[in-house]
Structure 1
């Protein structure tokens, strides 16, 4: 019964992520070269910074999924310095290149995610795969537990997929 419940939650989360990815792609596609150079809602970051971060972050989560699935140490990022250099070096690229990067990242995630989550071992939550800010089980456990009320009681968490859309578009609540 527990495995069925976990897979049902994972399927629901995957559907939410797919919808969020669609919104992200639509928002990104609407940005011009001037738009990607404009400030985002994140201090010190342009919208281009956010787009690069989202693309590299999606790739980094595939690293964590590989680690969880295989047990082979696959860090989220080679190092934080490499992550920061990747973001800085690409943030001012033309909108078309940034959008293509996001599209490639989303396409890869869509190909890998269903097969990757289906092969997760039952003890994945107890493993100690470390990402940028902690162990993978700290990411998986709340996700598998379902939504929890946010600070405004709206049922959203800090990691809700819709946040990227709001950060890039400059629209927020």
Structure 2
């Protein structure tokens, strides 16, 4: 889609985005995305996550962040944790691939993941890792993009729905990009 613009968000711009990113995160969790948060989940909690976890990481160049904009509205995001322990400096971890529920199936997630790969290569990374809820809608996308399953951990996390007593498995994946 030509109206979608993918933009890397640097330290000088990051503080302009927490409200929009908070709205996006809340919408995704409300629609059932398993991205670390459970219901009830409010806008303040979503904004707090971005301000207290992601903003400092971007400012310290530990996290690279991209947003997808549709007419200046944030409709997607993905981040790359590039600051790793000394024996893991060759790899980076993909996180928070989010696409607004109203904008799914438009290729936004795929475009964001391509940006992540480019950014990882520019940062000298050779290996990408990520995890996703087993059976989630994102899992086939990651396979299509060349990620391989490293393994599945049962009972890894709580689902985002209110009052759920079940536990979901997570699939760990990797991709060599050198």
TM-score normalised to structure 2 length: 0.29
Structure with max Cα Rg: 1
TM-score for both structures, normalised by structure 1: 0.29
